[in-house]
C-alpha cells in the first residue's frame, strides 16, 4: 500500500504466544479502511525478528521494535497464552504505557484487556474480556466489569472486547469511529460479515452446560495463572487511584 | 505444541498478497482442535522466506516450501489480490493439484474457490465464493454455483466459503467433520463466536443499495481481472469433463 502522511498508524504490540486472531481479525477489518486509510504496524521486541503467535506456531515479522516504533493513532493489544510472561518484560510494559499516552484509541482484544488492566490503562474504565477471564478482570478495584458478555465496550478512548472473534465486531465499530458509518458498513460488506455460527454456542449465556464445562476446564490453568499474577500485582504494588499509571 | 504422528496436518498454500484473514481465521479455529489435534503448516515458495499477506503487508514465514511439503490431511486455499498472479506460477498450481489428491478435505476460502476452480479442482462440484465473484465462478461450465450467499458449501470432500469472514463458520463446521460436534461446539465457545455485526450489512441480501454499490465499485478492477483470466483460461485450455484434473 502506498503510504501517505495522512494515513492513520495502527499498531499491534506483539509478544510470543500472543493469540493470532486477536491480532489478525482487527488488522484485516481496519486494513479495508479507505477514508482515512490506515497503515498497520506489527510491533515486536525487534523489527524483522520473528514473533510466534498461537495457535499454529505462526511466525510473523514485526515492522518495528518496541524501542523504535513511531507514534500510534490506535494501539491494539492482543491476549494469548504468552500474556503473563509478556507483562514481566519491562520493554513491553513501557511500550504500552508510552504509546497509550498519544494514541486516539487504546484497545484490548480478548485477554488483551487484562494486559491493559495490569499496566494501569483501564483504571476508571468500564471494560470486558474473554468470558473465561471476567472474574480476573473483576479483581481490579479501579475497573468496572460490564455485565454479560458484550462483544466490545467503549469507555472514553479505551475499547475492550470479549473473546477472540469479538475483535471483528470491535474493529468494524472502530472503523466507524475513525471513518464514519458509511465506511464501516462497506467494510462489513467487503468482509462478507454476515456470520452464522454453526452451533449458536458462542458464549456462556447460550452454550449448553456440558460445552461450557469442557471449555472452561481447558482454560482453567490459564485462568488460575492469570488470577495469581493479578493478585500478586495488586497486593505487592497497588496502583494508587490518585495516580493512574498512564497519565503520569 | 508438541507434535504427534497422529496429529492431522492442515496446510495453507500461501502466495504474495493472499488475503490475511482467509488464512488466519480457519487457522485459529482449527488450532483449537484437541481430538484430533491439528498441526498447521503455512506453505510458500520457500520455507522460511517471508510471504506478504494483505491487507497490512503482513509478513509471515512459511513452515514448508511448495516442493518440500509433506502430505496434507486438509488443504485450505485462500483468496486475495495476488490470486491471478499465483495461478500463473506453475509451482503453485502443481502444489494444489498434487496435494488435493491425498487430502481428506480441500477447501477454498473466499476467492480461494476461484483458485481451486482454475486448476480444475471444483469440476462436478457445487460451490460458492465471495459475493462479488459469484459471477466469475459461474463462468466455469463444470461448476454449479450454490444459490444465495451461503457461508460455506460442502460438496464431496470439497468445501468453499463466502467472503473472508465466512472462513470462520467453515472452520467450525470442519472441526465437526474432523472431531465431531462436541469438539466443534467447544471451539465455538472458546473463540467466543457469538458475533453481532454492528450493521447487519454483511452480504448483498441485507446490505442497503448504496453500501452495495460502493463496495462493488471497490472490487470492480479485481472482478474484471479475474473474469478476464478465467475467460482466457476456459477459452484457450478448456478442462475436458471426462478428465477432471484432480483425478488423473
Q: Which among B164, B192, B199 has the least Cβ separation from residue A202?
A: B192
Does B2 map to a domain?
no
Does A184 map to a domain?
yes
Strand-pair category, B58-60 with B51-54 = antiparallel
pLDDT band at A248 (very low <50, low <70, confident <90, very high): very low
Give A 46-75 residues with CB within 8 A of chain B: 50, 54-61, 63
- CA dist list (Å): A1 to A70, A125, B183: 18, 36, 40
Q: For residues A21-36, give the mean pLDDT.
A: 97
Let me know how long chain B is.
Answer: 248
Asked whether residue A180 carries a pLDDT value surpassing 60, the answer given is: yes
Q: Which among A40, A194, A204 has the least Cβ separation from residue B202?
A: A194
Spell out the per-residue pLDDT of chain B, length 248, in tens: 455 667 999 999 999 999 999 999 999 999 999 999 999 999 999 999 999 999 999 999 999 999 999 999 999 999 999 999 999 999 999 999 999 999 999 999 999 999 999 999 999 999 999 999 999 999 999 999 999 999 999 999 999 999 999 999 999 999 999 999 999 999 999 999 999 999 999 999 999 999 999 999 999 999 999 999 999 999 944 444 454 555 44
Q: Do residues A106 and A228 make contact, with C-beta atoms less than 8 angstroms apart?
A: no
Q: Do residues B167 and B161 make contact, with C-beta atoms less than 8 angstroms apart?
A: yes
Q: Do residues B102 and B72 make contact, with C-beta atoms less than 8 angstroms apart?
A: yes
What are B105's strand-pairing partners?
A: B74
Nearest CA in chain B to A205: B194
**Which residues have a Cβ under 8 Å from the Cβ of A91 and sit 6 or more positions away?**
A45, A66, A67
Burial-class residue B177 by CB neighbours within 10 Å (0-12, 13-18, 19+): middle
Does A120 map to a domain?
yes
Q: Which among A25, A60, A215 has the least Cβ separation from residue B189?
A: A215
Asked whether residue A244 carries a pLDDT value surpassing 80, the answer given is: no
Does A241 map to a domain?
no
As for how many domains chain A has, the answer is 1
Domain that holds residue A167: 8-236
Three-class SS state of B195: coil
Using a CB–CB cutoff of 8 Å, tell me whether B3 touches chain A.
no
Count CB neighbours of A127 within 10 A. Answer: 28
C-alpha cell recorded at residue A219: 482454560
Give A 152-181 residues with CB within 8 A of chain B: 162-166, 168-169, 172-173, 176, 181
- CA dist list (Å): B74 to A35, B8, B245: 38, 8, 18
The C-alpha atoms of residue B25 and residue B166 are separated, in whole angstroms, by: 9
Residue B4 is predicted with a pLDDT of 60
pLDDT band at A30 (very low <50, low <70, confident <90, very high): very high
Residue B3 is predicted with a pLDDT of 55
Angle between helices A181-190 and B209-218 (to 10 degrees): 60
The C-alpha atoms of residue A219 and residue A213 are separated, in whole angstroms, by: 10
Let me know how long chain A is.
Answer: 248
| DSSP single-letter state for residue A177 | H
Ramachandran assignment for B80, one of left (phi > 0), alpha (psi -120 to 50 degrees), beta (any other): left
Using a CB–CB cutoff of 8 Å, tell me whether A37 touches chain B.
no
Q: Do residues A149 and A170 make contact, with C-beta atoms less than 8 angstroms apart?
A: no
Does A247 map to a domain?
no
Using a CB–CB cutoff of 8 Å, tell me whether A31 touches chain B.
yes
Across the interface, whether the CB atoms of A195 and B193 are under 8 A apart is answered yes
Nearest CA in chain B to A56: B40
Q: Quote the minimal CA–CA distance from B48 to chain A in Å.
A: 9
C-alpha cell recorded at residue B132: 462479488
Burial-class residue A34 by CB neighbours within 10 Å (0-12, 13-18, 19+): middle
Across the interface, whether the CB atoms of A192 and B165 are under 8 A apart is answered yes
- Whether a cis peptide bond, with omega within 30° of 0, leads into B70 is no
Q: What is the pLDDT of residues A87-114, one digit of tens each?
A: 999 999 999 999 999 999 999 999 999 9
Across the interface, whether the CB atoms of A207 and B189 are under 8 A apart is answered yes
Does B243 map to a domain?
no
Q: What is the pLDDT of residues A196-242, one digit of tens each?
A: 999 999 999 999 999 999 999 999 999 999 999 999 999 944 444 45
Across the interface, whether the CB atoms of B59 and A57 are under 8 A apart is answered no
The predicted complex's ipTM stands at 0.92
> Which residue of B41, B149, B191 to mutate against A (max A Cβ within 10 Å)?
B191
Contacts B54 to A, Cβ<8 Å: 31
> Which residue of B17, B32, B186 to mutate against A (max A Cβ within 10 Å)?
B186
Does A248 map to a domain?
no
Does B184 map to a domain?
yes
Give B 190-219 residues with CB within 8 A of chain A: 190-208, 210-212, 214-215, 218-219
Closest to A75 in 3D by CA, of A28, A46, A112, A114? A112
CATH of the domain at A184: 3.40.50.880
Q: Do residues B122 and B140 make contact, with C-beta atoms less than 8 angstroms apart?
A: yes
Residue A5 is predicted with a pLDDT of 63
Q: For residues A144-153, give the mean pLDDT.
A: 98
Nearest CA in chain B to A62: B59
Q: For residues A140-163, give the mean pLDDT.
A: 98
Using a CB–CB cutoff of 8 Å, tell me whether A1 touches chain B.
yes
Contacts A163 to B, Cβ<8 Å: 190-192
Distance from the Cα of residue A246 to its chain's centroid: 17
The C-alpha atoms of residue A55 and residue A245 are separated, in whole angstroms, by: 32
Phi, psi of B127, deg, nearest 5: -150, 165
For the ranges A70-79, A149-158, B4-13, the lowest mean pLDDT is seen at B4-13
Across the interface, whether the CB atoms of B185 and A207 are under 8 A apart is answered yes
Q: Which among A40, A55, A165 has the least Cβ separation from residue B193?
A: A165
Catalytic annotation, residues of A: 110
Amino acid at each position: 500500500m502506498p503510504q501517505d502522511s495522512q494515513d492513520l498508524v495502527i499498531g499491534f504490540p506483539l509478544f510470543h504466544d500472543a493469540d493470532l486472531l486477536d491480532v489478525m481479525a482487527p488488522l484485516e477489518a481496519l486494513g479495508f479502511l479507505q477514508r482515512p486509510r490506515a497503515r498497520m504496524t506489527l510491533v515486536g521486541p525487534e523489527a524483522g525478528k520473528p514473533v510466534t503467535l498461537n495457535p499454529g506456531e505462526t511466525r510473523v515479522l514485526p515492522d518495528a521494535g518496541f524501542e523504535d516504533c513511531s507514534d500510534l493513532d490506535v494501539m491494539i493489544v492482543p491476549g494469548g497464552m504468552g500474556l503473563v510472561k509478556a507483562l514481566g518484560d519491562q520493554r513491553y510494559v513501557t511500550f504500552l504505557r508510552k504509546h497509550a499516552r498519544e494514541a486516539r484509541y487504546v484497545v484490548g482484544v480478548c485477554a488483551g484487556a487484562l494486559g491493559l488492566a495490569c499496566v494501569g490503562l483501564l483504571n476508571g474504565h468500564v471494560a470486558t474480556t474473554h468470558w473465561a477471564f471476567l472474574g480476573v478482570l473483576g479483581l481490579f478495584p479501579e475497573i468496572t466489569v460490564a455485565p454479560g458478555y458484550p462483544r466490545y465496550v467503549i469507555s472514553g478512548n479505551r475499547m475492550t472486547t470479549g473473546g477472540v472473534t469479538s475483535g471483528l465486531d470491535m474493529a468494524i465499530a472502530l472503523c466507524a469511529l475513525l471513518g464514519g458509518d458509511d465506511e464501516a458498513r462497506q467494510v462489513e460488506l467487503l468482509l462478507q460479515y454476515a456470520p452464522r455460527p454453526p452451533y449458536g454456542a458462542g458464549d456462556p449465556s447460550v452454550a449448553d452446560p456440558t460445552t461450557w464445562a469442557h471449555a472452561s476446564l481447558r482454560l482453567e490453568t490459564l485462568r488460575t495463572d492469570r488470577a495469581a499474577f493479578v493478585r500478586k500485582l495488586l497486593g505487592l504494588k497497588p496502583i494508587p487511584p490518585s495516580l493512574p499509571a498512564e497519565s503520569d
